Amino acid sequence: MILDNIQSVAFFIPELILTGAVLVVILFHVVSANRTSQFPAFLTLAAVSAAMIIAGGLGAGGTKDLFFGMVRIDEFSTFFKVILSLATLFATFMSIASLEVAGKRQTEYYVFLLSITLGMYLLASSVDIVMILLALELVSIPSYLLAGYLKRMERSVEGAVKYVVYGATASGVMIYGFSLLYGLSGSTNITDIGRAVFAANNPIILYLAVAMIAVGFGFKIAAVPFHMWSPDVYEGAPTPVTAFLSVGPKAAGFAILIRFFYEVFASRTGASTWSAVGGVDWMSIFAILSAITMTVGNLVAIVQKNVKRLLAYSSIAHAGYMLMGFVLLNIEGLRAVLFYLVVYLFMNTGAFLVVILVANAVGSEDISDYSGMGVRMPLMSVCMGIFLFALTGIPPFSGFIGKVYLFAGVINKGIYWLAVVAAINSVFSLYYYARILKVMFLESPKSSEPVMVPAVSRALLAVLAFPTLLLGVYWEPVINIAEASARFIAGG
């Protein structure tokens, strides 16, 4: 159902709430003299929660194309909107808890956070290449600013500058790819483009377009070889921002990647299967990208000495795992990606929260400074164990279930080499995740005084650790929701 501009407004309320919150925070900055007021943080929490709840409610009413087919509301976009809102909420709580952010001027920080959330909402739901580009930039530009938020620190600025240069180049290449598709189809709507690609018999142009668009989306999900920016950005940015960037924009990137490729370069062949169209074998390209991404991410993570940098490479590796599900062209693969994103949201954010708490206590992110944390902050260290073992994919934690679905999908499709590469990579990853835990629990502490963790952080730790445990033993509802959401791709 295609709605016009006035009809659309009623279904656009979540985005309007976020826009309104951005304006209010800016105006608050202008009128308020209190530079460290927590008001912007609380407004962000309220606005994002409200947007999430309303978006969840609107998603149940069937598929709708808003603004003459710019933005689509369906179960797929709703699923992502909820994940992305949770990522923002966690990031906000972490920002309140972190000493890196709490002492500084807050208003702009939350304006950027809210703008990124708005951009991610649009990215997850846009079905028009102009809208995709606009949403991608709305996510990217505030991300550059947040990456350089600690502007007195050299590595923060370095990360931000690299991010800008890479981001601008990636967008440029991607737009070129879009323009080829526009030339082929004469339309900016991805459903129309999909029809034109189906009819076209010009693999050279289509391969070019796939390659160029893969650059733009690959940059957003930090897939190798478009990942160079991410370790520097993740290391230089304030840790709450790092946690946010490694989950939120990455999930939004996967949303648009899946929607775009399944709508444009694939056609439905059954209730739960697709086939590639236009003579383009993009699945093989992404399967190879997936293998390279996880291998590079894991191998480079092994030699890292800074925990933030280590987690940056590990998040590159996880993008590689998730790409495995993306290339399968069936519902099994898609639901595995969506489920893994949920699991990844909790375990990865949790690991970064522990990094913040340790940094608050010892003022460092080096692995060697984690020595004896098992004695000084026992509860937090146990939580870190849960998050890291979940990231490795060890039963009974949720990461294991996520990986089981991904591996099962790949093996059922018969791509055995990819499953073997992923299995070897999981073994690699155990080494560097376990090394952090070894330092925390087995090495003697530098000082033995216990560190108090504030109540807010303890509550947030529990909120993140509980689903990581629960989804490892009882995951049925989430995988069902993921499957239902994935079915809605391409007019299901």
Q: Tell me which residues touch other proteins (CB under 8 A).
A: 6, 19, 23, 26-27, 29-30
Q: In angstroms, how far is CA 40 from the centroid of its own chain? A: 23
State the nearest-atom distance from the C-beta of 371 to other proteins, in Å.
43
Of residues 27 and 199, the one with the C-beta less far from other proteins: 27
**Cα–Cα dist 462/158, whole Å:** 34
Chain centroid to CA 22: 22
Cβ-contact 397, 386 below 8 angstroms: yes
CB nearer other proteins, residue 24 or residue 153? 24
Runs of H (alpha helix) within 237-330? 239-264, 282-302, 307-326
Q: CB-wise, 133 or 451, nearer to other proteins?
A: 133
Rounded to a whole number of angstroms, the minimum distance from the CB of residue 26 to other proteins is: 5
Closer residue to other proteins (CB): 24 or 277: 24
Q: How far is the CB of 151 from other proteins (least distance, A)?
A: 13
Contact present, 294 and 317 (Cβ < 8 Å) = yes
Nearer to other proteins, 19 or 49 (CB): 19
CB of 343 to other proteins, least distance (A): 38
Q: Which is nearer to other proteins, 131 or 190 (CB)?
A: 131
Entry field: residues in the chain: 492
Separation in Å, CA 418 to CA 158, 273, 429: 35, 20, 16
- Phi and psi based region of residue 16 (left: phi greater than 0; alpha: psi -120 to 50; beta: remaining): alpha
Pairing verdict, β 71-73 and 266-268: unpaired
Extract the tokens encoding 6.
């006035």
What is the C-alpha end-to-end distance of the chain, expressed in Å? Answer: 13
Closest by CA position to 380, among listed 353, 398, 362, 400: 353
Task: Enumerate helices (H) and strands (E) in the chain, giving the number of each.
Answer: 21, 4
- Residue 68 CB, shortest distance to other proteins, in Å, is 15
Q: Residue 32 Cβ, how far from other proteins at the closest point, in Å?
A: 11
Task: Provide the H-helix boundaries in 63-202.
Answer: 75-97, 99-102, 107-125, 129-147, 154-185, 190-199
User: How far from 214 is each of 92, 131, 331, 376, 403, CA to CA, in Å?
Assistant: 31, 17, 21, 46, 24
C-alpha to C-alpha distance for 257 and 174, rounded to whole angstroms:
12
Residue (30 or 455) nearer to other proteins, CB: 30
Q: Kindly tell me which of 29 and 268 has the beta carbon lying closer to other proteins.
A: 29
CB of 161 to other proteins, least distance (A): 14
Residue 109 CB, shortest distance to other proteins, in Å, is 14
Query: In whole angstroms, what is the distance from residue 273 CA to residue 77 CA?
Result: 20
Give the integer Cα–Cα distance in Å for 334 and 329. Answer: 8
Joined together, the tokens standing for residue 125 give: 């739901």
Smaller CB distance to other proteins: residue 16 or 424? Answer: 16
Closest alpha carbon to 369 in 355, 385, 382, 380: 355
Q: How far is the CB of 6 from other proteins (least distance, A)?
A: 7
> What whole-number distance in Å separates Cα of residue 106 and Cα of residue 361?
22
Q: With contact defined as beta carbons under 8 Å apart, do 40 and 101 qualify?
A: no
- To other proteins, the closest distance from the beta carbon of 5 in angstroms equals 8
Residue number, 26 or 408, with CB nearest to other proteins: 26
Least distance in angstroms from the C-beta of 111 to other proteins: 9
Determine the Cα angle at 486 with ends 172 and 179, to 5°. Answer: 20
Comparison of 19 and 306: residue with beta carbon closer to other proteins: 19
**Choice between 30 and 271, CB closer to other proteins:** 30
Torsion of CA 293, 296, 302, 308, to 10 degrees: -60
For residue 80, CA distances in Å to 103, 120, 386 come to 32, 9, 25
CB of 118 to other proteins, least distance (A): 12
